[in-house]
Structure 1
Amino acid sequence: MWVNIRSYPERMRAMGLRQIQVWIPDTRSEAFCTEAHRQSLAVAHSARSRDDQTFIDAAPDPQDQ
């Protein structure tokens, strides 16, 4: 089934939507992994780590719904 590619943005605009482009961190990069690990250690070793973990544990798990 052939779909007119140009008509898709037109249909979206007709529904009141607009297209945007979003740049996000590349979670596959070594630099991202290194920084995420550094931040996780900082949180784990903070004076409020117990409070932080209690907050996280209290959040609902979307997979349970």
Structure 2
Amino acid sequence: MGPEAAPEARRAGNRRKVREHRQRLRTQGMRPIQIWVPDVHAPEFAAEARRQCLLANASEEGAEIQAFIDLVYEWPDDEYSQ
């Protein structure tokens, strides 16, 4: 058995574990999906968020938009205040 065999055996073991895990989930009635979401760490995300906030604030409906945000926004103080 060469030096490449150990890493390949680990990869094969990992693939087997993942396959078994996915099969257990399927047995429970689950199915895999893939979703793509914005990268909140990207500078472009922050720039776009700022641009949209400025547009909302400058619009005629700015106060109404902010009132809606205040209405639906709930921050669990207990969980994050520590």
2:33 matches 1:28: no
**Number of equivalent positions:** 63
2:22 matches 1:15: no
Secondary structure of the corresponding residue to residue 6 of structure 1: helix
Q: CA deviation at 1:60?
A: 5.3
Instruction: Name structure 1 gaps, 5 residues minimum.
Output: none
Between structure 1 and structure 2, the one with the greater Rg is 2
TM-score by length of 1: 0.80
Higher relative contact order (CA 8 A, sep 6+): 1
Structure 1 residue ranges, 4+ long, deviating more than 6 angstroms after superposition: none
Secondary structure of the corresponding residue to residue 5 of structure 1: helix
Query: Within 5 Å, which residues of 2 pair with 1:34-53?
Result: 34-53=47-66
TM-score by length of 2: 0.65
Q: CA RMSD in A?
A: 2.1
Instruction: Name structure 2 gaps, 5 residues minimum.
Output: 1-16, 78-82
